[in-house]
Amino acid sequence: MNNKVSIVVPVYNVEKYIAGCLDSILAQSYENIEVIIVDDGSMDGSGAICDQYEERDLRIKVLHKKNGGVSDARNCGLQECTGEYIAFIDGDDYVSKYYIEHLLNAALEYNADISTCRFQLTDVEVEKCKDLAQQHPVQMLLTESGRKCQEIFLRSIINVMECKESWEDSLIRSNVSDKLFRRSLYIGVSFPVGKKAEDLWVIYGLLGRANRVVVTDAQDYYYYQRPGSIMHSVEAEITTTEIEAYNSFYADEIDKSHRELLCLIIMRLCMQRYRNILKYEIKDERADYIRRIAKKYIHKPHGKVSAKEFSYWCMLSYCPWILKVNRKG
């Protein structure tokens, strides 16, 4: 096994965490890697720390650029990748010693274009994590075609909305950072600059392009939860962006069952966002957009919804003023 793996690491103001992240990458049991670090205009010492690591290890390449956001940084890194496979690791997260080995072994064994592992949300700093060097037997949880995995992904979103499963337990999540991709999947694909939920915008299409996707039970990626991180930020803008993303997926989708699942997700996201607008009296210039989208999908096949949900959907689409009156009452 001598396949080269490119690891893209976007970095922005993470001077307290980037050394731990890079140490976990350089400690990989699989050594045929290149590490593309993109310093996205950091205003702290992150860039200097990355330069120090570049001097220490020939597998590291550091790019410094003007701040453009995580999507722009990832796109910049993608242009520099030369490996057959690509992985993404955020600069404040860290990975186990066997992260790349497990993902690549699974991809090669099943001839998969995408392999994915489990992850752990943690507030334990990398230096205190005792599990990174421990290797456990790896089991395959799923191996399916990319199109089938699109359906599994959409059903997981609905199950999370209905509290039937947690986001952490979903087999296929929207994140790109717990996955390994064949680089050819990214031909003509880029992350959307200036949008939140950037992973979501690309993952549905990447799944559709994949000949096969494999999911392992290896818990190799650690999402470090720190104050100020994206996952701790206000979710209002993300919800609206998700509506835009699923709306674009629907426009390009031809499979009837996939369109029904997408319609249901869009409907529920619209209702969730509008409830929050009313509940917290948010001045959201996208409120009209949300109502238009809700109205657009109300007559499309959307599977089973409760009478209560459909009633709210109708009011949101045709007489939102009633919802405002009911809130005040």
pLDDT tens across 117-163, in order? 998 887 766 655 556 666 777 899 999 999 999 999 999 999 998 88
112 domain residue, yes or no: yes
Closest CA to 51 of 85, 32, 223, 42: 42
First-to-last CA distance in the chain? 66
How far is the C-alpha of 106 from the C-alpha of 28, rounded, in Å?
A: 16
Taking all residues of the chain, what is their mean pLDDT, rounded to a whole number?
88
Q: Please give the pLDDT value at position 283.
A: 63
Looking at residue 323, what is its pLDDT? Answer: 67
| Burial (CB count <10 Å: 0-12, 13-18, 19+), residue 182 | buried
**231, pLDDT greater than 50:** no
The answer to whether position 106 is within a domain reads: yes
pLDDT digits (tens, 9 = 90+) for 159-199: 998 889 988 889 999 999 999 999 999 999 999 999 989 99
CATH of the domain at 111: 3.90.550.10
Evaluate if residue 26 carries a pLDDT over 90.
Answer: yes
For residues 48 and 182, membership in a common domain is answered with: yes
Q: Are residues 131 and 63 in the same domain?
A: yes
For residue 310, being part of any structural domain is answered with: yes
| Predicted confidence band of residue 329 (pLDDT cuts 50, 70, 90) | very low
Residues 94 and 184 in one domain: yes
Q: Is the residue at 156 inside a domain?
A: no
pLDDT in tens, 77-96: 999 999 999 999 999 999 99
Residues 180, 49, single domain; the answer is yes
Average pLDDT over residues 57-86: 98
Asked whether residue 131 falls in the same domain as residue 248, the answer is: no
Q: For residue 198, is it within any domain?
A: no
Cβ neighbours, 10 Å, residue 111 = 11
- Using DSSP, state whether 143 is helix, strand or coil: strand
Q: Which helix (H) or strand (E) holds 309?
A: helix 307-318
Same domain, 25 and 135: yes
Of 228, 185, 229, 224, which Cα lies nearest the Cα of 203? 185
Q: How many domains does the chain have?
A: 2
Residue 153, in any domain of the structure:
no
- Weakest mean pLDDT among 38-52, 273-287, 293-307: 273-287
pLDDT value at 234 more than 50? no
pLDDT, position 327: 53
Q: Residue 216 burial by CB count (10 A; 0-12/13-18/19+): exposed, middle or buried?
A: buried
Structure tokens at 326: 């009911």
Q: What is the DSSP string of 221-245?
A: EEEE--TTSGGGS-SHHHHHHHHHH
> Which string of DSSP letters, residue by residue, matches 56-76?
H-TTEEEEEE----HHHHHHH
Q: Are residues 82 and 130 in the same domain?
A: yes
CA dist 249 and 258 (Å) reads 10
Tokens of 297: 């999908």
Q: Which residues contact 251 (CB under 8 A, 6 or more apart)?
A: none
Tell me: do 213 and 281 sit in the same domain. no
Q: Are residues 227 and 135 in the same domain?
A: yes
- Mark whether 262 and 136 lie in a shared domain: no
321 domain-assigned: yes
Query: Whole domain around residue 59: which residue ranges?
Result: 5-144+174-189+207-231
Identify whether residues 185 and 306 lie together within a single domain. no
Lowest-pLDDT range, 63-77, 115-129, 291-305? 115-129
Asked if residue 152 belongs to a domain, the reply is: no
Q: Are residues 132 and 246 in the same domain?
A: no
